[in-house]
A and B are shown apart, each in its own frame.
Chain A
Amino acid sequence: MSEEEHKVEYTTVSIPKILAENIKDRMKGTGFSSVSSYVTYILRQVLSSIGEDEKSKQAFTKDEEDKVKQRLRDLGYID
């Protein structure tokens, strides 16, 4: 598969230079190779969490958890 097939299209967004410098400092040691990839990551995290926070906090109820644990016990996954 060619490199081209993997490529995602990009556009440019302007941010204050001072903010870009702060981001450069902040991203040290994170493994991100550029300010753009780090900012993309942060924005996606923020966007996907908006409106989802409450739902994800209650991923499963106590009742659901008890039922699942019983099935896991029956299957031998937990004692």
Chain B
Amino acid sequence: MIQPHGGTLINKKFPEIERKKVLGEIHEFEKIKVDSEIMSVIKNIAFGVFSPLEGFMNENVMLNVLEHMYLENNIAWPIPITLDVSEDDIQKISVEDSIILTNFSDEPIALLKIEDIYSYDKKKFAKKVYGTMDKNHPGVAKLFSRKEKFVGGEIFLIDEFSAVFPKLDLKPIETRILFKTRGWNKVAAFQTRNPPHLGHEYIQKAALTFVDGLFINPVIGKKKTGDFFDGVIINAYKELIKNYYPKNRVVLSTFETGMRYAGPKEAIFHAIARKNFGCDHIIIGRDHAGVNNYYGPYDAHKIFENFPDLGIEPLFFRSFSYCTKCGSIVNDKICPYSSDFHKYFSGSKIREIFLSGKEPTSEIMRPEVAKVILNYKNPFCE
């Protein structure tokens, strides 16, 4: 099986004895509240999804990632993983302190050993990560709403808070043992933030033809207005798998993380996370993790040329459509007919169809999947 990124699957869960000790002395620590998105980051670090990271990035690591897309130890990493802290909270803490990160109900989530407290340049960060400083970009808008300072340091998970979909919440050690148990040597990951249309199914099954198993791994977490709710995506996939996939060739599991809409750089980030889950291939489609027209349709393909050492192999797919002349799903490389005969799997068009209360045709989406979505009064984030 593929090695975790950096060679070791990180585990930052406190051993029980130390956890009890910290909880016994909890009143002695300064505490900082973190939101659900940072909680997801903590969990992902603690269980190795973000291996080899062991905490939030210090300034020199963050700058190296911004400038070079590598960690200081020469391991590829495209997007800074940071903890933003308010000026008020900064007054309470110092480098070398150990503090407790809590949820909004003051329940302890993790211990953070502070190694660095630093300011950052939001414009530079935006330009480097998103390729734009335009605040209409959802990732840039979110960045500009973040607090003014970052705190870096190693974390130790105290309590594993409940997942959004507990039965689909598999950690890298679990997916790795699952793949091993099923005898899967080659596993292709599919990243998604949408319910499946026939184009997705075609891509997944095309990939599955060449590997042992398919790991469908929807991103669960904060998304932008107009995106599908997480529950819609999950239930749509359950229905698709139940009706159209061989049970022992597919695993559906969630990846709790906020979408950054960072296009090509996020494609590398997604690949690294799936490598840690034990996948040696990842499907990269058209405009992966893109938004509006900020990135070229195949920028997320091109960026992999700069990372021949990533370990996980990208499977590049072009834009697919249904050709009424061929009577099948095609792309521009395999179909001789003009676009007049092509019905495109446009996310915005599918959204419009559902908003009007209609069902997409069976050339676009499986009826069973469409029914799941139509059962929701409003399937979209507001």
Contact-size category for A: 35 or more
- Is A12 an interface position by the 8 A CB rule? no
Complex CA distance for A41 and B251, rounded to whole angstroms: 30
Min distance, Cβ B272 to any Cβ of chain A, angstroms:
13
- Chain B residues in 8 Å Cβ range of A52: 6-8
Does the CB pair A48–B75 fall under 8 Å?
yes
Does the CB pair B177–A60 fall under 8 Å?
yes
Complex CA distance for A57 and B69, rounded to whole angstroms: 28
Does the CB pair B8–A78 fall under 8 Å?
no
- Chain B residues in 8 Å Cβ range of A55: 7-8
In the complex, the chain A residue whose C-beta lies closest to that of B7 is: A52
Does the CB pair B181–A78 fall under 8 Å?
yes
Contact-size category for B: 35 or more
Min distance, Cβ A49 to any Cβ of chain B, angstroms:
6
- Is A22 an interface position by the 8 A CB rule? no
- Is B382 an interface position by the 8 A CB rule? no
- Is A68 an interface position by the 8 A CB rule? yes
In the complex, the chain B residue whose C-beta lies closest to that of A32 is: B308
Q: Which positions 3-58 of chain A face chain B at CB distance < 8 Å?
A: 3, 5-9, 31-33, 37-38, 40-41, 44-45, 47-49, 52, 55-56
Contact of A1 among B131, B173, B181, B306 (CB under 8 A): B131
In the complex, the chain A residue whose C-beta lies closest to that of B130 is: A1
Query: Sorted from nearest, which 6 A-B pairs have the closest CB atoms?
Result: A1-B131, A52-B7, A44-B309, A41-B309, A68-B177, A37-B308
16 pairs, A vs B, C-beta closer than 8 Å? A1-B263, A5-B131, A7-B306, A8-B69, A9-B67, A31-B308, A41-B309, A48-B73, A48-B75, A52-B8, A56-B4, A59-B4, A68-B173, A72-B174, A75-B167, A78-B181
Residues of chain A having any CB pair with chain B under 8 Å: 1-3, 5-9, 31-33, 37-38, 40-41, 44-45, 47-49, 52, 55-56, 59-60, 64-65, 68-69, 71-72, 75-78
